[in-house]
Each structure stands twice: as structure tokens, then as C-alpha cells.
Structure 1
Amino acid sequence: MLWIIGGSAIAREILAGSDTDSFRGRLESQFYHVAWEGFRLYDLVFPLFLFLAGCVLPYSLAKYAETPRAVYGRLFRRGVALVLLGLLYNGILQFDFANMRYMQVLQRIGIGYVAAGLIFLHTRWRMQLVITAAILLGYWAIFAFIPPPGGVAGDYSMEGNLAGYIDRSVLPGKILEKYYGYGDNEGILSTIPAIATALLGVLAGTLLRSTLTPYRKVLSLAAAGIGCLVIGYGWGASFPVIKNLWTSSFVLVAGGWSLLLLAIFYLVIDVWQWQRAALFWVVIGSNAITIYIAQEFVDFRQIAEFFFGGVARVSGDYQKLVLLVGVLIVKWCLLFFLYRRRIFLRV
């Protein structure tokens, strides 16, 4: 969420204009989505969000393991609420249904949350691992052996992939150019492997709740992360790492980095108890969906200009950077206000 609410814009501004072949230039590229095939830091933001949504399920649903039906209503209410928030974010109240985008980040999180929750309630970790592998292999098989009408099987191009064809044929509304144009990057078919991303989080959460010693947990998470990266990048040679299609190799690469980050943060915050340093991120994470949605309705830039406009005007070449930092400060202060008053808006 730090990157979404302004961190990435600040990083881009600091690194802007760098030689693309230099270290700064390569670092700058990490704060932009890859155009199609490949993986960058910024491509991790969404799958990490979904991974963590799965990671909390063993904590929130474990007490319902013997009576899963008791929590069905809550699961589906949250899933539906996320889908509705996504539609609201996309402008459903404008009633321009023909030009509206129907898929979105929140819809995918809602679907992944419900699916992973149901699987967690009715299976043990070994079966969850089997289901995750089956989803990834099944998704690969769909692409490898089923050609889109007029196309060929195994086509992973923007124009010819099967997922894009299904989106163009089935999704109502408009396929937007900024979401690669030939399909939706949160489309129908690619939502299936997103469930596997959530399940990787479920498995990680189950590990954290296990009776292993803290350092064994850290090592296990790190080993799993490295394993996912090796398999994911290796598989990427034949099933490319493509975020817009959420390919199985992308799931494993993103899952690998997510597991490594979880291992690091668990080590630092839970094992070493360096918790004061975490407050900055805790404040953001406590109302993550709130600030995600609020950005569409609140003009934070105008507020930042009111408070920091004078400083920006005397900052010369750093004027834009000062305002970007100001926007982030304003957003964080709002979140801190909610955090201090224990106001947490959840679905």
C-alpha cells in the first residue's frame, strides 16, 4: 500500500532521467509495470496483497474448522462487499455500463479470498498444496492445449492469447487500452490462478501458526520462497512470466518474493521484536482498503498544495518531489488519525 498511495511516484521522481543502462536507470524501471513478459518490483504489489489476504485466513478461520458452515455467511459477505467496492471504484454509479470496466483489483481479491477461505475450511495443508499445484498445472494445460478460435494453442502474445479472447468475447463493458487492450489484466480466465496466489498465503499462514520454533519458521518460509523462485523462473522459459495473464510461472515468482519478504518481516518484527520501526507501515496497513478507495474521491494533491505549496515553490527543481512527498504525508496523517482513534473500516 505504501507504493500505491505515493511511494512509487516518489521513487520515480527521484530516479527520473537516469541512464537506462545505469544502476539508477535499472532501479527506476523497477517502479513501473513490465510491458508484457518479465517481472519487476512493481509487479509484486498486487499479488503480495492477495498473498497476504490468504495469509490471514488461518488466523481468522481456524476456530471454524470443525463448524465451517458457521462462517460461510461472513466469507461471502466480505467477498461480495469487495466486488461491490470494486464496481464502485470503476464508476458503476455513472450508469455508463457500455463503457465501464467490470473487472478490477478488489473483485479479484474478493473472489480469491472466498475461494481460498472455503478450501482452507475443508482441507488440510497437504491437500491445499495439492490444489495449488493442480490449479497451476491446469492453467498451464489450458493455454498449452486449447487454442482460441482462429488462433493456436500456446500463444502468449498480447493479441493472440486465450485469456484475452475470452475477455473480449464474454466480459461486458469496455476493454481498456491501459490494461493491455486485448483483454483485461484482471479478467475471467486469469482469476483462476490468482486463487493459487491466495492459497500460497494460506500455506504461509498455516506455517506461521505451527509449533515450529521461530527461526525454523523463518528458514522454512525462506526455503519455500527460494524454491518457488527457482521453479517459477525455470517454468518461465516455456510458460512465460506474464502478470497480465497471471501465468503459473508468474504466480510462483511473485509467491517466491512474497514468501521471502514475509520471512524477513517476521524475523525483524516478531522474532527480533523491532516493532517500533513498523508503526509507519502498520498505520497504512490498518486501513488499506480505506485509503485505496479514498484516493478516488478525495483530492489529496490539492490538500498537499495547500500545506506544502509554499515550500514547493521555493524548492526549485525539487518542486514536484516536495508535492509528491506532501501527498504521501497527508494520506498518512489521515490514516494515523484513524489508527489513533481505533477506527478501522473493514468489509
Structure 2
Amino acid sequence: MTPSATRQRLYSLDALRGFDMFWIMGAEEIVHNLAKASGSPFWEAAANQLTHPEWNGFHLYDLIFPLFLFLAGVATPYSVGRELEQGKPTQQLLLRVIRRGLVLVLLGIIYNNGLEFRPLADIRFPSVLGRIGLAYMFANIIYLYTKQTGQIIWFCALLIGYWLLLTFTAAPGFAMGDLTMEGNFASYIDRMIIPGKLHLGIHDPEGLMSTIPAIGTALLGIYAGNLLKNSPLSQQRKTLQLAIMGIAFLVLAQLWNLIFPINKNLWTSSFVLQVGGLSLLLLSIFYYVIDVLGYRSWAFFFAVIGMNSILIYLSEAFIDFHFTTEALFKWLIQLFSEPYKLVIASLMFVLVKWGFLYFLYLKKTFLRV
């Protein structure tokens, strides 16, 4: 951990990143417990959206991971891009990008397996942080060595290439274009080359092959970041362009879904467009409300989370927040009758985590990778 640098930040970026992380630091449990306690069709529908489909299909919970990767791309022109403008050598920035990507891969392995020796067969190497690290790294390498036109070409080539790859191949013994968990070519290659174990035995949702289109998710974020930072358009026009692109991507995603299903497990090209469209729409809303209209105070709660997003994600592996929640708020939880005890417990759980992050915010201490 290092003291925070005094540099200008895109406040809406921190807030949206925090909003994204809010749902996996305990907020989804609040909704699930509300659904169980109330039996309300509204909360049951909301709780269903905070689950992952078994294979094909899309729920809003599927957006959390790719939105984070998209926002890592949005930050690139404000970090790597700014240093390029200041004259830092491309080679130096390249080494930093590679180092950051590999550190995230290492942190992901630690998050999955803990700090202990295990047999190779019991180690899971693919991870959420690993995918973020690899996709971020390759997208930033493309950013360092190509102009925006080249980045757009890379984006299209990755999505179309992945679609063609899975359409004209399959695991041995399966028909060409098979997209089942066992029969698709991406999972087959992962089974052949990834050591240790896969999350689902025959498939890992963070496997190597499906990282290829995930690079496109990061590149889309870089495009959005370039638009916000470098475009001569007015802030209102930037907002409108992000929103129009978001709607267009959602339409294209539904069309592509007809022949290449939206599938988070395989990170299909249609999935990239689906989550890309939603990410662009969310960014346009947060940017317009916070950075254009200037309504920032409401977003402070989320910004505190967003400024230490990697730390709060990793902390689950090392800090027992459930123990702290019970120690501090058991008396409050006891004041409520069943079945609302779990709702209050989950609310306090999120509050404890946020309090931890707020303490670090006051100390101006943030985890930088």
C-alpha cells in the first residue's frame, strides 16, 4: 500500500467502479435475504438477476466482472496515456503494464488457493484477477503501439476471430460449432493446456481461451476513456455519444445472440457487446450526473469503495468480516425477528466493510498494483 498520489481523477470513474464492487462486497446478499424474508415478487425478481445463468443467457449479475474490466480500460488514457503525453518512454510503460498484469495474475492465484503449499492438481490457476490482469495487459500493449483506428480494428478482429474460431471448431467427438460446456473448443483447449484444476472440472469461466474476447472489453473501455479525456466534443455531446454507442451495442448483441449465444462462461462476442453496451450506458449516466452536472455528494459512498476496489476484493481471503460484524452488531441483529435478522446482518456486513474502506480513505491509503 502506498499513499495516494495527488492527481486529478475522473470522479465518476471511481464512483462507478465502487457501485460495481458494492454488489459483490455483500449487497447481493441483502437482496437475496429480502427476497426470502418478504416473498415479494419484486425482490424475488431482483434476487434472480443477482445470480448467474447456468450456461447461455444473461442476468445483471453477469455485468459486474466485465464492467470492472471495462473501467480498467477507461482509466488507461488517464494513467498510461497521461504518462505518454509527458514523454515517458514507451518501453518503460510497456514493462510497467506487463508487471501490473502479471502481479494481478499472481494475486488471483493467491486469492483462489491461499498462501499454502498444495499439490499441483489441487491448484486453480485461472481467476477473476488473472483475467483482468491479462486482458488489461494485452489491451494496454495494443494501446501503446497503435492509434485509435488500430485499436478499433483489433477490437473487431478479436470478436469476429473468436466467433469464427468457436463456430468452425469443436472438442474431439463433437459436431463443428458445438457450444456446450464439454463440446466447445475453448474449454477443450483449456483442459489441454492449463495445469491444476478447472473451476467446473471440464471448464473454467476464467480460462485462457475466453480471455481473447475479454481483451475487447478492455479495449472498449480504452475507447470510452479516450473519448472522455481527449475528444474536443462538449461534455454533453460526449455523454450522448456514449449512450448512443451503448444502445447500438445492445441491439447488435441481440442480433449476434441469434447465432452466437450471449454466454459469460465463454465470454462470447455477443456477450462482449451486451456488457459493453450496458457499461457504456452506465458510464454515460454516471459521467453526466457527477462530472457534467456536478452532483457528487451522493456518489461519495461508492467512490470510497472504488478507490480501493482491488483491496476490498482481496480482503475476503484474509479478513473475517463476518466475525467483526457479529462482534459489533449482534445486539442490533437480535432486536429483529425472523426472517429479517439475516437482512439486518447482511446490511451490517456491508457497513463494516465500507467502514474499513472509509478508514483507509481518511488515511489516504490505497492499494496500488
The interval holding the TM-score normalised by the smaller chain is over 0.9
Report the alpha carbon displacement of residue 148 of structure 1 after superposing the two structures with TM: 1.8
- Mapped partners of 1:104, 1:30: distance in 2: 23
> TM-score, normalization: structure 1?
0.95
1:157 maps to which residue? Answer: 180
What corresponds to 2:150 in structure 1?
A: 127
Residue in 1 that maps onto 2:218: 198
Q: Which residue number corresponds to residue 361 of structure 2? A: 339
Q: Is the partner of 1:32 in helix, strand or coil?
A: coil
2:101 maps to 1:82: no
For the 8 Å contact 2:171–2:182, the answer to whether it is kept is: no
How big is the shift at 1:92? 5.5
Percent of pairs with identical residues: 46
Select which of 171, 174, 179 maps to 2:197.
Answer: 174
Q: Which residue of 1 aligns with 2:117?
A: 95
1-structure distance, mates of 2:349, 2:43? 24
Which structure has more RCO (C-alpha within 8 Å, separation ≥ 6)?
A: 2
State the AA in 2 paired with 1:11: V
C-alpha distance in 2 between matches for 1:77 and 1:171: 21
The reply on whether 1:6 has 2:26 as its aligned counterpart is yes
Deviation string 1:98-137 (CA, Å, 9 cap, x unpaired) is 1111100001111111111111111121221111011000
Amino acid of the structure 2 residue aligned with 1:48 = L
Distance 1:154 1:30 in 2: 29
Task: Work out whether 1:230 is the aligned partner of 2:251.
Answer: yes
CA contact (8 A) 2:73 2:222 kept: yes
Aligned: 1:299 with 2:320: yes
Residue in structure 1 matched with residue 45 of structure 2 by the alignment: 26
RMSD of aligned alpha carbons: 1.5
Q: CA deviation at 1:23?
A: 4.0
Q: Matched residues in 2 for 1:153 and 1:275: separation?
A: 52
Which string of whole-angstrom CA distances, capped at 9 and with x for unpartnered residues, describes residues 199-225 of structure 1? 000000011011110110011000110
- 1:323 pairs, out of 326, 331, 345, with 345
Quick one: distance in 2 between partners of 1:77 and 1:335? Answer: 26
The aligned counterpart of 1:35 is: 54
Deviation for aligned residue 1:19:
6.8
Amino acid at match of 2:64: V
Cα deviation for residue 93 of structure 1 reads 3.0
Deviation at 1:18, TM superposition (A): 7.1
2:59 corresponds to which letter in structure 1?
R
Deviation at 1:147, TM superposition (A): 2.3
Q: Give the C-alpha shift of residue 16 in structure 1.
A: 2.6
Specify the SS of the correspondent of 1:244. Answer: coil
CA deviation vs aligned residue, 1:188-244 (integer Å, no higher than 9, x gap) = 110100000000000000110111101100110001101110111110010000000
Aligned residue number for residue 112 of structure 1? 135
Helix, strand or coil at the partner of 2:265 = helix
Q: Distance in 2 between the 1:72 and 1:310 partners?
A: 53
State the Cα distance separating 1:159 from its structure 2 match: 2.2
CA contact (8 A) 1:83 1:110 kept: yes
Aligned length: 343
- Aligned position for 1:266: 287
1:51 alignment partner in structure 2: 70
CA contact (8 A) 2:127 2:206 kept: yes
Partner secondary structure for residue 316 of structure 1: coil
**CA shift at 1:176, angstroms?**
2.9
Structure 1 residue runs of 5 or longer lacking an equivalent are none
- SS of the aligned residue for 1:9 comes to helix
Deviates more, 1:284-293 or 1:313-322: 313-322
TM-score scaled to structure 2, two decimals? 0.90
- Which segment is superposed worse, 195-204 or 85-94? 85-94
Letter in 2 for 1:343: T
Partner of 2:209: 189
Is contact 1:92–1:100 with CA below 8 Å preserved after alignment?
no
Deviation at 1:24, TM superposition (A): 3.7
Kept in 2, the 8 Å contact 1:16–1:28? The answer is: no
8 Å contact kept, 2:34–2:43: no
- Aligned equivalents of 1:19, 1:251: Cα separation in 2: 34
Task: Decide whether the 8 Å contact of 1:58 with 1:202 is kept in 2.
Answer: yes
Q: Is the 8 A contact 2:32 2:44 kept in 1?
A: no
Gaps of 5+ in 2: 1-20
AA partner of residue 239 (structure 2): V
Structure 1: 4+ residue segments shifted above 6 A: 17-20
How much has 1:262 moved relative to structure 2? 0.2
Letter aligned with residue 115 of structure 2: L
CA displacement, residues 262-297 of structure 1 (integer Å, 9 cap, x when unaligned)? 000000000010111111011001111111111111
Report the alpha carbon displacement of residue 325 of structure 1 after superposing the two structures with TM.
0.9
